[in-house]
Protein backbone atom coordinates (compact mmCIF):
# COMPACT_ATOMS: atom_id res chain seq x y z
CA UNK A 1 0.00 0.00 0.00
CA UNK A 2 1.20 3.48 -0.79
CA UNK A 3 0.12 7.11 -0.72
CA UNK A 4 1.06 9.54 -3.48
CA UNK A 5 0.65 13.32 -3.75
CA UNK A 6 0.38 14.82 -7.21
CA UNK A 7 -0.26 18.16 -8.82
CA UNK A 8 -2.34 18.48 -11.96
CA UNK A 9 -0.48 17.34 -15.11
CA UNK A 10 2.25 15.51 -13.17
CA UNK A 11 2.81 11.92 -14.30
CA UNK A 12 1.15 9.47 -11.95
CA UNK A 13 2.71 6.23 -10.70
CA UNK A 14 2.43 3.17 -12.89
CA UNK A 15 1.38 1.10 -9.89
CA UNK A 16 -1.93 3.01 -9.83
CA UNK A 17 -2.83 2.35 -13.46
CA UNK A 18 -5.22 -0.16 -14.97
CA UNK A 19 -7.45 -0.99 -12.02
CA UNK A 20 -10.54 0.18 -10.17
CA UNK A 21 -10.94 3.79 -9.10
CA UNK A 22 -13.09 5.76 -6.66
CA UNK A 23 -12.92 9.55 -6.32
CA UNK A 24 -14.10 11.84 -3.53
CA UNK A 25 -13.27 14.04 -0.57
CA UNK A 26 -13.94 11.16 1.87
CA UNK A 27 -14.12 13.49 4.88
CA UNK A 28 -14.60 11.27 7.91
CA UNK A 29 -14.47 8.07 5.84
CA UNK A 30 -17.97 7.23 7.08
CA UNK A 31 -19.90 4.01 6.41
CA UNK A 32 -20.98 5.24 2.98
CA UNK A 33 -17.38 5.90 2.01
CA UNK A 34 -16.40 2.53 3.43
CA UNK A 35 -18.92 0.83 1.12
CA UNK A 36 -17.35 2.61 -1.87
CA UNK A 37 -13.85 1.56 -0.84
CA UNK A 38 -14.91 -2.05 -0.27
CA UNK A 39 -16.56 -2.21 -3.70
CA UNK A 40 -13.49 -0.62 -5.28
CA UNK A 41 -11.32 -3.29 -3.65
CA UNK A 42 -13.59 -6.06 -4.94
CA UNK A 43 -13.56 -4.67 -8.48
CA UNK A 44 -9.79 -4.27 -8.37
CA UNK A 45 -9.37 -7.92 -7.43
CA UNK A 46 -11.72 -8.99 -10.21
CA UNK A 47 -9.64 -7.01 -12.72
CA UNK A 48 -6.36 -8.24 -11.22
CA UNK A 49 -5.46 -4.57 -10.83
CA UNK A 50 -5.08 -2.01 -8.05
CA UNK A 51 -7.90 -0.44 -6.04
CA UNK A 52 -7.11 3.26 -6.11
CA UNK A 53 -8.83 6.03 -4.16
CA UNK A 54 -8.37 9.62 -5.31
CA UNK A 55 -8.93 12.41 -2.81
CA UNK A 56 -8.17 16.13 -2.65
CA UNK A 57 -6.07 18.38 -0.44
CA UNK A 58 -7.03 20.95 0.51
CA UNK A 59 -10.78 20.42 0.36
CA UNK A 60 -12.11 22.22 -2.76
CA UNK A 61 -14.34 24.40 -0.58
CA UNK A 62 -11.25 25.90 1.05
CA UNK A 63 -10.44 27.44 -2.31
CA UNK A 64 -13.95 28.09 -3.63
CA UNK A 65 -15.68 29.16 -0.37
CA UNK A 66 -12.99 29.71 2.26
CA UNK A 67 -15.31 31.74 4.52
CA UNK A 68 -17.89 28.98 4.80
CA UNK A 69 -15.90 25.83 5.47
CA UNK A 70 -15.33 24.72 9.04
CA UNK A 71 -13.07 22.14 10.57
CA UNK A 72 -13.04 18.72 8.89
CA UNK A 73 -14.28 15.50 10.47
CA UNK A 74 -10.85 13.93 10.10
CA UNK A 75 -7.32 15.07 9.41
CA UNK A 76 -5.72 14.17 6.10
CA UNK A 77 -3.38 11.74 7.88
CA UNK A 78 -6.28 9.92 9.55
CA UNK A 79 -8.24 9.93 6.31
CA UNK A 80 -5.41 8.18 4.46
CA UNK A 81 -5.10 5.48 7.12
CA UNK A 82 -8.85 4.87 7.12
CA UNK A 83 -9.07 4.74 3.32
CA UNK A 84 -6.39 2.07 3.14
CA UNK A 85 -7.86 0.20 6.10
CA UNK A 86 -11.19 0.01 4.27
CA UNK A 87 -9.92 -1.31 0.94
CA UNK A 88 -7.75 1.12 -1.02
CA UNK A 89 -4.48 -0.38 -2.24
CA UNK A 90 -3.20 3.10 -3.01
CA UNK A 91 -4.40 6.61 -2.26
CA UNK A 92 -3.69 9.48 -4.64
CA UNK A 93 -3.90 12.96 -3.16
CA UNK A 94 -4.58 15.51 -5.86
CA UNK A 95 -3.32 18.92 -4.86
CA UNK A 96 -6.35 21.15 -5.21
CA UNK A 97 -5.79 24.23 -7.32
CA UNK A 98 -7.98 26.65 -9.22
CA UNK A 99 -6.68 25.10 -12.44
CA UNK A 100 -7.87 21.69 -11.30
CA UNK A 101 -11.26 23.07 -10.24
CA UNK A 102 -11.70 24.76 -13.64
CA UNK A 103 -11.51 21.45 -15.52
CA UNK A 104 -14.75 20.47 -17.18
CA UNK A 105 -16.21 17.09 -16.32
CA UNK A 106 -15.10 15.69 -19.67
CA UNK A 107 -11.56 17.08 -19.32
CA UNK A 108 -11.25 15.71 -15.78
CA UNK A 109 -12.46 12.30 -16.92
CA UNK A 110 -10.28 12.09 -20.01
CA UNK A 111 -7.16 13.59 -18.46
CA UNK A 112 -7.11 11.95 -15.01
CA UNK A 113 -9.38 8.89 -15.12
CA UNK A 114 -8.35 7.72 -18.59
CA UNK A 115 -4.96 9.13 -19.59
CA UNK A 116 -3.28 9.42 -16.19
CA UNK A 117 -4.73 6.37 -14.43
CA UNK A 118 -6.03 4.15 -17.23
CA UNK A 119 -8.95 3.12 -15.03
CA UNK A 120 -10.97 0.12 -16.15
CA UNK A 121 -13.64 0.43 -13.47
CA UNK A 122 -15.08 3.39 -11.60
CA UNK A 123 -17.08 3.17 -8.38
CA UNK A 124 -19.02 6.17 -7.08
CA UNK A 125 -22.03 7.07 -4.95
CA UNK A 126 -25.53 7.84 -6.18
CA UNK A 127 -25.02 11.61 -5.75
CA UNK A 128 -21.47 11.92 -7.12
CA UNK A 129 -20.66 15.08 -9.08
CA UNK A 130 -17.38 16.33 -10.51
CA UNK A 131 -15.83 18.91 -12.79
CA UNK A 132 -16.28 22.67 -12.98
CA UNK A 133 -19.42 23.78 -11.10
CA UNK A 134 -20.14 20.08 -10.42
CA UNK A 135 -21.42 19.75 -13.98
CA UNK A 136 -20.42 16.09 -14.08
CA UNK A 137 -23.62 14.47 -12.84
CA UNK A 138 -24.03 10.72 -12.61
CA UNK A 139 -25.80 10.84 -15.99
CA UNK A 140 -22.78 12.59 -17.54
CA UNK A 141 -20.48 10.07 -15.87
CA UNK A 142 -22.49 7.14 -17.23
CA UNK A 143 -22.21 8.54 -20.73
CA UNK A 144 -18.45 9.11 -20.45
CA UNK A 145 -17.82 5.63 -19.06
CA UNK A 146 -19.96 3.99 -21.72
CA UNK A 147 -18.13 5.85 -24.47
CA UNK A 148 -14.71 4.76 -23.20
CA UNK A 149 -15.54 1.22 -22.03
CA UNK A 150 -15.01 1.95 -18.35
CA UNK A 151 -17.23 -0.21 -16.13
CA UNK A 152 -19.22 2.08 -13.84
CA UNK A 153 -20.79 1.07 -10.53
CA UNK A 154 -23.05 3.57 -8.77
CA UNK A 155 -23.83 2.58 -5.21
CA UNK A 156 -27.14 3.56 -3.62
CA UNK A 157 -27.32 5.69 -0.49
CA UNK A 158 -26.18 4.00 2.68
CA UNK A 159 -28.92 4.64 5.24
CA UNK A 160 -28.66 4.67 9.02
CA UNK A 161 -31.69 5.39 11.20
CA UNK A 162 -33.79 5.89 8.10
CA UNK A 163 -31.71 8.62 6.46
CA UNK A 164 -28.77 8.68 4.02
CA UNK A 165 -25.34 8.96 5.58
CA UNK A 166 -23.29 12.01 4.60
CA UNK A 167 -20.45 14.08 6.00
CA UNK A 168 -22.79 17.07 6.38
CA UNK A 169 -25.27 14.98 8.37
CA UNK A 170 -22.47 13.84 10.69
CA UNK A 171 -21.45 17.46 11.25
CA UNK A 172 -25.03 18.32 12.19
CA UNK A 173 -25.22 15.47 14.67
CA UNK A 174 -21.88 16.35 16.24
CA UNK A 175 -22.74 20.02 16.61
CA UNK A 176 -26.02 18.98 18.26
CA UNK A 177 -24.11 16.73 20.67
CA UNK A 178 -25.44 13.50 19.19
CA UNK A 179 -22.07 11.78 19.28
CA UNK A 180 -23.66 8.35 19.69
CA UNK A 181 -25.57 8.85 16.43
CA UNK A 182 -22.41 10.13 14.72
CA UNK A 183 -20.66 6.95 15.83
CA UNK A 184 -23.23 4.87 13.93
CA UNK A 185 -22.70 6.98 10.80
CA UNK A 186 -18.92 6.87 11.04
CA UNK A 187 -18.70 3.23 12.03
CA UNK A 188 -16.45 4.30 14.94
CA UNK A 189 -16.41 7.06 17.59
CA UNK A 190 -15.70 10.60 16.46
CA UNK A 191 -12.14 11.46 17.45
CA UNK A 192 -10.30 14.69 18.10
CA UNK A 193 -6.63 15.07 18.99
CA UNK A 194 -4.45 17.85 20.32
CA UNK A 195 -1.68 18.85 22.65
CA UNK A 196 -2.11 19.04 26.43
CA UNK A 197 -1.36 22.54 27.68
CA UNK A 198 -1.26 24.09 31.14
CA UNK A 199 -4.64 25.48 32.21
CA UNK A 200 -5.81 27.23 35.36
CA UNK A 201 -5.65 23.95 37.31
CA UNK A 202 -9.11 24.61 38.70
CA UNK A 203 -10.15 20.99 38.10
CA UNK A 204 -7.26 19.74 40.24
CA UNK A 205 -8.34 22.05 43.08
CA UNK A 206 -11.78 20.42 42.93
CA UNK A 207 -10.33 16.92 43.01
CA UNK A 208 -10.79 16.25 39.29
CA UNK A 209 -7.66 17.29 37.36
CA UNK A 210 -8.21 17.90 33.66
CA UNK A 211 -6.07 17.90 30.55
CA UNK A 212 -6.62 21.12 28.61
CA UNK A 213 -6.49 20.27 24.93
CA UNK A 214 -5.13 22.73 22.36
CA UNK A 215 -4.18 22.65 18.64
CA UNK A 216 -7.27 20.65 17.64
CA UNK A 217 -7.66 20.42 13.86
CA UNK A 218 -10.99 18.59 13.56
CA UNK A 219 -14.60 19.42 14.32
CA UNK A 220 -15.60 19.75 17.98
CA UNK A 221 -18.99 18.45 19.12
CA UNK A 222 -21.41 21.00 20.56
CA UNK A 223 -20.93 22.38 24.07
CA UNK A 224 -21.58 19.99 26.92
CA UNK A 225 -20.18 17.22 29.08
CA UNK A 226 -19.38 13.89 27.40
CA UNK A 227 -18.35 10.38 28.29
CA UNK A 228 -15.14 9.77 26.33
CA UNK A 229 -12.17 7.50 25.94
CA UNK A 230 -8.82 9.27 26.11
CA UNK A 231 -5.69 7.86 24.50
CA UNK A 232 -2.29 9.09 25.65
CA UNK A 233 1.13 7.45 25.39
CA UNK A 234 -0.43 4.30 23.96
CA UNK A 235 -2.85 3.74 26.86
CA UNK A 236 -6.64 4.24 26.84
CA UNK A 237 -8.55 5.69 29.80
CA UNK A 238 -12.25 6.32 30.41
CA UNK A 239 -12.89 10.01 30.82
CA UNK A 240 -15.31 12.89 31.17
CA UNK A 241 -14.80 15.81 28.79
CA UNK A 242 -16.23 19.28 28.97
CA UNK A 243 -16.49 21.35 25.79
CA UNK A 244 -17.46 24.99 26.14
CA UNK A 245 -17.15 27.88 28.57
CA UNK A 246 -17.14 27.70 32.36
CA UNK A 247 -20.06 29.93 33.35
CA UNK A 248 -19.80 29.10 37.06
CA UNK A 249 -16.54 31.05 37.14
CA UNK A 250 -17.61 33.69 34.61
CA UNK A 251 -15.39 32.32 31.82
CA UNK A 252 -16.73 32.63 28.28
CA UNK A 253 -13.84 31.11 26.32
CA UNK A 254 -14.63 27.79 24.67
CA UNK A 255 -12.27 25.12 25.97
CA UNK A 256 -11.79 21.36 25.82
CA UNK A 257 -11.03 19.85 29.22
CA UNK A 258 -10.71 16.11 29.79
CA UNK A 259 -10.61 14.28 33.13
CA UNK A 260 -8.96 10.86 32.75
CA UNK A 261 -10.66 8.58 35.25
CA UNK A 262 -8.15 6.65 37.36
CA UNK A 263 -5.11 8.36 35.85
CA UNK A 264 -2.37 10.13 37.78
CA UNK A 265 0.72 11.68 36.29
CA UNK A 266 2.02 14.59 34.25
CA UNK A 267 0.98 14.68 30.59
CA UNK A 268 1.63 18.35 29.86
CA UNK A 269 2.88 18.82 26.31
CA UNK A 270 1.83 15.26 25.39
CA UNK A 271 -0.44 14.39 22.47
CA UNK A 272 -3.90 13.29 23.57
CA UNK A 273 -6.71 11.79 21.48
CA UNK A 274 -10.34 11.79 22.60
CA UNK A 275 -13.09 9.47 21.33
CA UNK A 276 -16.66 10.59 22.08
CA UNK A 277 -19.06 7.97 23.42
CA UNK A 278 -22.13 9.74 24.82
CA UNK A 279 -23.30 13.22 25.79
CA UNK A 280 -24.07 13.40 29.51
CA UNK A 281 -25.50 16.89 29.91
CA UNK A 282 -25.53 20.46 28.66
CA UNK A 283 -23.22 23.20 29.90
CA UNK A 284 -24.75 25.27 32.69
CA UNK A 285 -23.81 27.55 35.57
CA UNK A 286 -23.89 26.32 39.17
CA UNK A 287 -24.72 28.29 42.29
CA UNK A 288 -21.38 27.64 43.96
CA UNK A 289 -18.29 25.44 43.94
CA UNK A 290 -19.84 22.76 46.15
CA UNK A 291 -22.78 22.33 43.77
CA UNK A 292 -20.38 22.15 40.82
CA UNK A 293 -18.20 19.55 42.59
CA UNK A 294 -21.23 17.38 43.35
CA UNK A 295 -22.28 17.52 39.70
CA UNK A 296 -18.77 16.63 38.50
CA UNK A 297 -18.84 13.57 40.78
CA UNK A 298 -22.10 12.48 39.10
CA UNK A 299 -20.67 13.23 35.63
CA UNK A 300 -17.56 11.14 36.28
CA UNK A 301 -19.62 8.20 37.56
CA UNK A 302 -21.86 8.37 34.48
CA UNK A 303 -18.86 8.66 32.16
CA UNK A 304 -17.31 5.60 33.76
CA UNK A 305 -20.49 3.61 33.02
CA UNK A 306 -20.55 4.61 29.34
CA UNK A 307 -16.84 4.72 28.56
CA UNK A 308 -15.29 2.17 30.89
CA UNK A 309 -12.33 0.52 29.19
CA UNK A 310 -12.21 -3.27 29.41
DSSP-derived letter for residue 125 is: E
Alpha-carbon distances of 75 from 126, 235, 277, 305, rounded to whole Å: 25, 21, 20, 29
pLDDT at 240 (0 to 100): 97
Q: With contact defined as beta carbons under 8 Å apart, do 83 and 4 qualify? A: no
Taking alpha carbons only, the member of 238, 256, 237, 259 closest to residue 246 is 256
Contact 148/120 with Cβ under 8 angstroms? Answer: no
Give the number of residues written for the chain.
310
Assign a CATH topology to domain 189-307.
Elongation Factor Tu (Ef-tu); domain 3 (2.40.30)
Whole-angstrom CA distances from 52 to 18, 41, 57, 91, 118 are 10, 8, 16, 6, 11
What is 2-156's CATH superfamily? HUPs (3.40.50.620)
Domains of the chain, by residue range, sit at 2-156, 189-307
pLDDT, residue 200, reads: 66
Neighbours of 36 (CB within 10 A): 26
Closest CA to 24 of 175, 100, 145, 130: 130
Residue 172 pLDDT: 97
Distance CA 2, CA 15 (A): 9
Task: Assess contact for 64 and 100: CB atoms under 8 A.
Answer: no
State in Å, rounded, how far the first CA of the chain is from the last one: 32
Q: Are 157 and 165 in contact (CB under 8 A)?
A: yes
Per the DSSP assignment, residues forming a β-bridge with 3 are: 91
Per-residue pLDDT tens, the chain, 310 aa: give them. Answer: 789 999 888 888 999 999 999 999 999 999 999 999 999 999 999 999 999 999 999 988 888 887 777 899 999 999 999 999 999 999 999 999 999 999 999 999 999 999 999 999 999 999 999 999 999 999 999 999 999 999 999 999 999 999 999 999 999 999 999 999 999 999 999 999 999 998 666 666 677 899 999 999 999 999 999 999 999 999 999 999 999 988 877 777 899 999 999 998 899 999 999 999 999 999 998 988 899 999 999 999 999 999 986 5
Amino acid sequence: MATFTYALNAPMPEVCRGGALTIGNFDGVHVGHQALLAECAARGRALDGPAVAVTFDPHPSQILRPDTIGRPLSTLADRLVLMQKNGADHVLILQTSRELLQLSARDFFEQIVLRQLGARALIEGYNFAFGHNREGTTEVLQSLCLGHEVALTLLPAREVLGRPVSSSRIREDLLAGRVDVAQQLLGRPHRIAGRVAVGQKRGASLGFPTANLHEIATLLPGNGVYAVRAIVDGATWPGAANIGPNPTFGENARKVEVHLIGFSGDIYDHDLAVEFVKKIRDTRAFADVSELTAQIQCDVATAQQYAGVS
